A and B are shown apart, each in its own frame.
Chain A
Amino acid sequence: MDFNDGPDEARFRGELRDWLRENSPSHDADGDHGEKGNVANLEWHRRLYAGGWLGLSWPKEYGGKGLTPIYDAIVNEEVGASGASAPSVGYLGRAILHFGSDEQKSEYLPSMLRGDVQWCQGFSEPGAGSDLASLRTRAEKRDDIYVVNGQKVWTSRAQWADWCLLLCRTNPELPKHKGISCLVFEMDRPGITVHPLKQTWGTAEFNEVFFDNLEVPVSRRIGEEGDGWPLATTVLAHERGPADIGFISHFQHQLQEFEALLQRLPHDQRAEFAPRVAQAYVSIAACRLHVLKSLSLRAKGVAPGADTSIDKLLMTRVEQELGALSLDVAGSAPLLGTDPETVYRYLRSRAASIYGGTEQIQHSIVAQRILGMQRA
Chain B
Amino acid sequence: MDVTMTESEELLRQTVRHLGADLTVGSVGEFDDYDEARGWKSLAETGLLGLRLPESAGGGAGSTFDEAITVEALAYNSLPVPYLGGAAFVGALLLAANAPDETLARLASGELRCSVGLTNDLSSLWGLSPSTGAPIAFDSAGSNAAIIFDTSDGYRLRAVALASEVKSFDLTRKNHEVDPSKGVDIGPLGSEIAPEVLVGVMARLLTLVSADLVGVMDAGLATAVEYAATREQFGVPIATFQAIQHLCAAQLVSLEGGRSLTEYAAWAVDQSDANEAILAARAAKAYCSRAGRVVTEAVVQVHGGMGFTWDCMAHVFLKRALTDAKILGDAASQIQEIAVLRSGRI
Residues of A within 8 A of B (CB): 1-6, 9, 70, 73, 259-260, 262-263, 274-275, 277-279, 281-283, 285-287, 289-290, 292-293, 295-297, 299-300, 310, 313-314, 317, 360, 362-368, 370-376
Contacts of A370 in B (CB 8 A): 249, 252
B5 on interface, CB distance cutoff 8 Å: yes
Q: In the complex where A290-B260, A376-B240 touch, is A2 in contact with B248 (Cβ < 8 A)? A: no
B295 on interface, CB distance cutoff 8 Å: no
B246 on interface, CB distance cutoff 8 Å: yes
Distance in angstroms from A372 CB to nearest chain B CB is: 7
CB <8 Å contact, A279 and B257: no
CB <8 Å contact, A364 and B4: no
Measured CA separation A259–B267 after assembly (Å): 26
Q: In the complex where A300-B4, A367-B248 touch, is A281 in contact with B257 (Cβ < 8 A)? A: no
CB <8 Å contact, B65 and A1: yes
Q: In the complex where A70-B1, A367-B249, A373-B245 touch, is A259 in contact with B343 (Cβ < 8 A)? A: yes
CB <8 Å contact, B339 and A263: no
Most chain-A Cβ atoms within 10 A of its Cβ — which of B240, B280, B336? B240
Chain B, range 210-269, C-beta contacts under 8 Å to A: 221, 225, 228-229, 236-237, 239-242, 244-246, 248-250, 252-253, 256-258, 260-261, 263-264, 266-268
The 9 closest A-B pairs by CB, nearest first: A367-B245, A286-B257, A366-B249, A289-B260, A363-B249, A278-B339, A363-B246, A278-B338, A290-B260
CB <8 Å contact, A374 and B4: no
Most chain-A Cβ atoms within 10 A of its Cβ — which of B249, B256, B342? B249
Measured CA separation A295–B258 after assembly (Å): 18
B306 on interface, CB distance cutoff 8 Å: no
Q: In the complex where A292-B1, A364-B246 touch, is A263 in contact with B268 (Cβ < 8 A)? A: no
CB <8 Å contact, A372 and B225: yes
Measured CA separation A366–B247 after assembly (Å): 11
Distance in angstroms from A129 CB to nearest chain B CB is: 16
Contacts of A282 in B (CB 8 A): 261, 283, 286-287, 335, 338
Q: In the complex where A363-B245, A364-B242, A364-B246 touch, is A374 in contact with B343 (Cβ < 8 A)? A: no
22 chain-A/chain-B pairs, Cβ below 8 angstroms: A1-B267, A2-B1, A277-B342, A278-B342, A281-B342, A282-B287, A285-B283, A293-B3, A293-B4, A299-B2, A317-B253, A362-B249, A363-B245, A363-B250, A366-B252, A366-B253, A371-B225, A371-B249, A373-B225, A373-B239, A374-B237, A376-B241
CB <8 Å contact, A274 and B283: no
Contacts of A6 in B (CB 8 A): 1
Measured CA separation A256–B245 after assembly (Å): 36
* Additional A-B contacts beyond A9-B1, A263-B343, A373-B229 (10; CB < 8 A): A70-B1, A260-B346, A275-B336, A277-B339, A286-B287, A313-B250, A363-B250, A364-B249, A371-B245, A376-B242
B6 on interface, CB distance cutoff 8 Å: yes
Contacts of A310 in B (CB 8 A): 252-253, 256
Distance in angstroms from B281 CB to nearest chain A CB is: 12
Interface residue SS majority, chain B = helix
Distance in angstroms from A270 CB to nearest chain B CB is: 9
Q: In the complex where A275-B332, A371-B252 touch, is A1 in contact with B245 (Cβ < 8 A)? A: no
Contacts of B261 in A (CB 8 A): 282, 285-286, 289
Q: In the complex where A9-B1, A286-B257, A310-B256 touch, is A3 in contact with B335 (Cβ < 8 A)? A: no
Measured CA separation A364–B263 after assembly (Å): 27
Measured CA separation A297–B260 after assembly (Å): 14
B9 on interface, CB distance cutoff 8 Å: yes
Contacts of B151 in A (CB 8 A): none
CB <8 Å contact, B346 and A263: yes
Measured CA separation A88–B212 after assembly (Å): 37
Measured CA separation A14–B258 after assembly (Å): 30
CB <8 Å contact, A1 and B4: yes
CB <8 Å contact, B257 and A314: yes
Contacts of A3 in B (CB 8 A): 1, 3, 264, 267-268, 271
Q: In the complex where A1-B3, A366-B249 touch, is A374 in contact with B229 (Cβ < 8 A)? A: yes
Chain B, range 1-20, C-beta contacts under 8 Å to A: 1-6, 9
CB <8 Å contact, B335 and A278: yes
Say which residue of A275, A278, A289, A375 sits within 8 Å of B263 (CB atoms).
A289
Interface string of B279-319 (1 = CB under 8 A from A): 01001001100000000000000000000000000000000
Contacts of B332 in A (CB 8 A): 275
Contacts of B239 in A (CB 8 A): 373-374
Most chain-A Cβ atoms within 10 A of its Cβ — which of B3, B239, B244, B246? B3
Measured CA separation A129–B1 after assembly (Å): 38
